[in-house]
DNA sequence: TTGTACGCGTTATCAG
DNA sequence: CTGATAACGCGTACAA
């Protein structure tokens, strides 16, 4: 029957002053403090001043935890990326961050656990109510996470990649067209022996870009001309080395994206090859590095900034309008010719 | 006297099922549900099963918001960086993220508002109780944020950079030694006309590296040989162009960090200069790009991984032990010679 | 214009 | 072993 207090765990002294303290200090009721700080109009300017003074004096800061519980929102969205140190993702993150911050949301970083079922347990954060929504840039064709998340009612937007048969907001590039652009460019330069060093087979980006490439080449590529692996520098590096070790190396390589393309270039240059004389290399994305003099990579540009911003906006809309019909935004791409592609060498 | 419900704001249907619902379904009291899910030992395996079944069946997920309020912690720490798309910060973020995730914390991204006073308002998140701690990698010598944060009692760790006269946990490199290494190397190669294209004057990294350089050169540098600016690619680029346009360009440039050094190289190469024949360039950090064949940058390596991980651990310790004495960790650096530095050319 | 009372969904204490 | 009850700190419908 007696009131009880749990002892603060010893490590928690901060955030002492509560609205009740301010109330006491100002000689009003706690609810009045709340009203003042929320700008309630019908409050006498006298008590308002008293309360504000007391709050200021005590250094009162409202508890977001309590506000969150009351408001049933957290003001936080999760952004899921594959790797943080991968050039492409920071680019996305940066633009998403700006947009979401402007909309009043904070971002928590979620590194994709590679949709291994086991790791779903560690992802409880995705399913409890600590997040108002999630932005996923790592969806794979067969990944369960977006589907489960959607089923749980979590506001959700897929950026950059999409998932078949999942009717949620999607913001991506026209990757089939991107694949076509890439292949057309190399074909126009006279290349016939083209290898593709693509990203993971189970991503929509890889599937679409490859589809576009094959549309133009109008032929199946031999198995040793098609490689798949993670969208990483070292993947491109390894693929290039493998290709160059064979008896008849290709004259051109289409990499899965710029990060991989730069890996390809690194391997090629390191083994003394010149671009485009010995080998043409082409990527996708047009990340800033691609334009550096030392790289000067021909690539099919996608507007990652527009995608990131639009995805962020879609998520905010989705959170506010959970039941509106999903949108599927597709952004155009454009070929950017630089120095890593050139005419097929007509050697003796 | 009658109970009252506020209507859910229309946009919030999710997170319906509460522990009370589970209780009703299992025919027990809500508190029993809580006990079961928290693995309380003294519970009959019979009711335990009933409750677990009901929870499973209803798809119950505990509300983190409510747990946070009760537990007076959020399980979230803020990580403050300068720019997300800046190569160096993703590196830090990545390692910090791994460490903090392992310790059970989520990360919210905070982009430094450049310690403009005006933007402090937007930073309320830093001072309310939504964060259990903050990791700052953007401190400047004169910045108020860390000081205010510390004064407010927020657990705090400074990574990479430090602030004078602020006794909080600090994890950084021996930047004075780094500066010495850089200068020694160039002096040994015969360079006498060295320019420094450094980072912002008000950062401890810049101050310390420059101090080390000057220690070795044993002379003041002429004003036109010392430049300061943000740690960004375009800064290095612009500084190099300015230096090269003068009548007597230097024979070597020490850049503030690798990102800037690559900007310097970009400018140099774009104007047809060769390294190291026409110009030696040297950076700090040794980010992965520095090792690429196309860059091959001589640099003074700092162990950013060790720093990130240690900073993360220190923060976790600090949160758990708010009153333990602060630590100041300093990590060693090491010169990594690659292809952008060479002997002074002895032209005709 | 302000005080009263209640609930957001948990966990923890106290009886029984 | 389990039910009742009190916080955690805030916002708000209701009464005055």
* Cα distance between residue A191 and residue A197, in whole Å: 16
Most A CBs within 10 Å: which of B73, B275, B292, as the mutation test of the A interface?
B292
Q: What is the pTM of this model?
A: 0.94
Nucleotides of strand D lying closer than 7 angstroms to a protein CB: 1-15
Q: Is B135 helix (H, G, I), strand (E, B) or coil?
A: strand
* Cβ contact, residue pair B266, A292, below 8 Å: yes
* CATH no., domain A175-302: 3.40.50.2300
Domain ranges of chain A: 19-71, 76-172+304-332, 175-302
* Cβ contact, residue pair A65, B69, below 8 Å: yes
Å between A61 CA and nearest CA of chain B: 6
The gap between the terminal CA atoms of chain A, to the nearest Å, is 99
Distance A126 CA to D2 C1' (A): 32
| Contact in structure between A135 and A159 (CB atoms under 8 Å) | yes
B32 in contact with nucleic chain D (CB within 7 A): yes
Tell me the pLDDT band of B222, cut-offs 50, 70 and 90.
Answer: very high
Å between A320 CA and nearest CA of chain B: 6
Distance A4 CA to C12 C1' (A): 9
pLDDT for residue A31 is more than 70: yes
* Cβ contact, residue pair B90, A94, below 8 Å: no
* Cβ contact, residue pair A93, B109, below 8 Å: yes
pLDDT in tens, B323-343: 999 999 999 999 999 999 999
Most A CBs within 10 Å: which of B294, B312, B320, as the mutation test of the A interface?
B294
B8 in contact with nucleic chain C (CB within 7 A): no
Å between B95 CA and nearest CA of chain A: 9
A165 in contact with nucleic chain C (CB within 7 A): no
Q: Which residue has the higher pLDDT, B10 or A261?
A: A261
A210-213 — which CB contacts under 8 Å span 24+ positions?
A210/A179, A211/A176, A211/A179, A212/A175, A212/A176, A212/A177, A212/A178, A212/A179, A212/A180, A212/A181, A212/A182, A212/A183, A213/A179, A213/A180, A213/A182, A213/A183, A213/A254
B43 in contact with nucleic chain D (CB within 7 A): yes
Q: Which residues pair with B298 in a beta bridge?
A: B282
Topology adopted by domain B19-71: 434 Repressor (Amino-terminal Domain) (1.10.260)
| Contact in structure between A58 and A33 (CB atoms under 8 Å) | no
pLDDT score for B6: 42
Average per-residue pLDDT in chain A?
92
If you measure CA to CA, which chain B residue comes closest to A288? B85
pLDDT in tens, A226-285: 999 999 999 999 999 999 999 999 999 999 999 999 999 999 999 999 999 999 999 999
A15 in contact with nucleic chain D (CB within 7 A): yes
What is chain A's alpha carbon radius of gyration, rounded to the nearest angstrom? 27
Tell me the pLDDT band of B124, cut-offs 50, 70 and 90.
Answer: confident
* Cβ contact, residue pair A11, B69, below 8 Å: no
pLDDT score for A292: 97
pLDDT for residue A312 is more than 90: yes
* Cα distance between residue B286 and residue B263, in whole Å: 14
If you measure CA to CA, which chain B residue comes closest to A263? B292
Name the packing angle between helices A88-102 and A304-320 (round to 10°). Answer: 40
A67 to each of A47, A76, A93, B8, B108, how far by Cα in Å? Answer: 23, 13, 27, 15, 18
pLDDT in tens, A53-67: 999 999 999 999 999
Most A CBs within 10 Å: which of B70, B80, B90, as the mutation test of the A interface?
B90
* Cβ contact, residue pair B86, A86, below 8 Å: no
* Cα distance between residue A90 and residue B255, in whole Å: 23
pLDDT for residue A119 is more than 70: no
| Contact in structure between A103 and A316 (CB atoms under 8 Å) | yes
Topology adopted by domain B76-172+304-332: Rossmann fold (3.40.50)
* Cβ contact, residue pair B322, A14, below 8 Å: yes
Distance B3 CA to D13 C1' (A): 9
If you measure CA to CA, which chain B residue comes closest to A295? B294
A28 in contact with nucleic chain C (CB within 7 A): yes
* Cβ contact, residue pair B83, A94, below 8 Å: yes
Q: Which residue has the higher pLDDT, A329 or A8?
A: A329
Å between A144 CA and nearest CA of chain B: 17
Contact list in B for residue A273 (CB cut-off 8 A) is none
Residue contacts between A and B (CB atoms, under 8 Å): 164
User: Smallest Cα–Cα separation from A339: which of A297, A283, A303?
Assistant: A297
Mean pLDDT of A20-30: 95
Distance A101 CA to C2 C1' (A): 36
Contact list in A for residue B304 (CB cut-off 8 A) is none
Tell me the pLDDT band of A4, cut-offs 50, 70 and 90.
Answer: very low
Which two tokens mark A334? 């454009």
User: At which residue do the structure tokens 């680019």 appear?
Assistant: A91
Average per-residue pLDDT in chain B?
92
Cβ count near B18 (within 10 Å): 17
B31 in contact with nucleic chain D (CB within 7 A): yes
Contact list in A for residue B8 (CB cut-off 8 A) is 72
* Cβ contact, residue pair A65, B68, below 8 Å: yes
pLDDT in tens, B129-142: 999 999 999 999 98
Contact list in A for residue B232 (CB cut-off 8 A) is none
Distance A10 CA to C3 C1' (A): 35
pLDDT score for A8: 38
pLDDT for residue B164 is more than 80: yes
pLDDT score for B177: 98
Q: Of A182-191, A273-282, B6-15, B30-39, give the lowest mean pLDDT range.
A: B6-15
Mean pLDDT of B224-235: 97
Å between B238 CA and nearest CA of chain A: 14
Q: Which residue has the higher pLDDT, A45 or B3?
A: A45
| Contact in structure between B145 and B208 (CB atoms under 8 Å) | no
User: At which residue do the structure tokens 């492409």 appear?
Assistant: A88
Q: Is A157 helix (H, G, I), strand (E, B) or coil?
A: strand
Which two tokens mark B298? 């001589």
* Cβ contact, residue pair B14, A152, below 8 Å: yes
* Cβ contact, residue pair B129, A8, below 8 Å: no
pLDDT score for A11: 40
Tell me, yes or no, if the two domains A76-172+304-332 and A175-302 fold the same way: yes
pLDDT for residue B119 is more than 80: no
Tell me the pLDDT band of B3, cut-offs 50, 70 and 90.
Answer: very low
Most B CBs within 10 Å: which of A14, A65, A338, as the mutation test of the B interface?
A65
Nucleotide nearest to B21 (CA to C1'): C9
User: Smallest Cα–Cα separation from B284: which of B88, B77, B98?
Assistant: B88
pLDDT for residue A289 is more than 60: yes
D1 closest protein residue (CA to C1'): B43
Nucleotide nearest to A50 (CA to C1'): C2
Which two tokens mark B111? 């982009």
A68 in contact with nucleic chain D (CB within 7 A): no
Distance A81 CA to D12 C1' (A): 39
């Amino acid at each position: 029957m007696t009131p009880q207090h749990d002892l603060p765990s010893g490590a928690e002294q901060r955030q002492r002053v509560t609205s009740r303290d301010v109330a006491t200090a100002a000689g009003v009721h706690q609810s009045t403090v709340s009203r003042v700080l929320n700008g309630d109009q019908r409050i006498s300017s006298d008590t308002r001043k008293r309360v504000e003074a007391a709050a200021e004096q005590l250094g009162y800061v409202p508890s977001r935890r309590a506000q969150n519980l009351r408001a049933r929102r957290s003001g936080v969205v999760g952004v899921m990326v594959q790797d943080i140190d991968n050039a492409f993702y920071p680019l996305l993150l940066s633009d998403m961050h700006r947009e979401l911050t402007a909309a009043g949301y904070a971002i928590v970083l979620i590194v994709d656990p590679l949709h291994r079922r086991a790791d779903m347990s560690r992802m409880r954060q995705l399913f409890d109510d600590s997040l108002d929504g999630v932005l996923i840039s790592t969806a794979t064709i067969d990944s369960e996470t977006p589907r489960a998340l959607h089923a749980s009612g979590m506001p959700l937007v897929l950026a950059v990649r999409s998932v078949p048969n999942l009717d949620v907001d999607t913001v991506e590039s026209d990757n089939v067209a991107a694949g076509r652009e890439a292949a057309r460019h190399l074909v126009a330069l006279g290349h016939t022996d083209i290898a593709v060093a693509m990203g993971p087979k189970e991503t929509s980006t890889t599937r679409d870009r490859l589809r576009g490439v094959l549309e133009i080449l109008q032929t199946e590529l031999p198995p040793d001309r098609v490689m798949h692996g993670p969208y990483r520098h070292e993947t491109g590096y390894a693929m290039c080395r493998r290709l160059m070790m064979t008896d008849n190396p290709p004259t051109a390589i289409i990499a899965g994206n710029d990060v991989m393309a730069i890996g390809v270039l690194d391997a090629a240059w390191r083994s003394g090859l010149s671009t485009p004389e010995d080998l043409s290399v082409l990527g996708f994305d047009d990340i800033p590095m691609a334009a550096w003099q030392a790289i000067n990579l021909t690539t099919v540009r996608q507007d990652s900034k527009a995608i990131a911003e639009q995805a962020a906006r879609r998520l905010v809309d989705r959170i506010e309008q959970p039941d509106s019909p999903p949108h599927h935004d597709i952004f155009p791409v454009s070929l950017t010719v630089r120095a890593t592609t050139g005419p097929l060498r007509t050697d003796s």
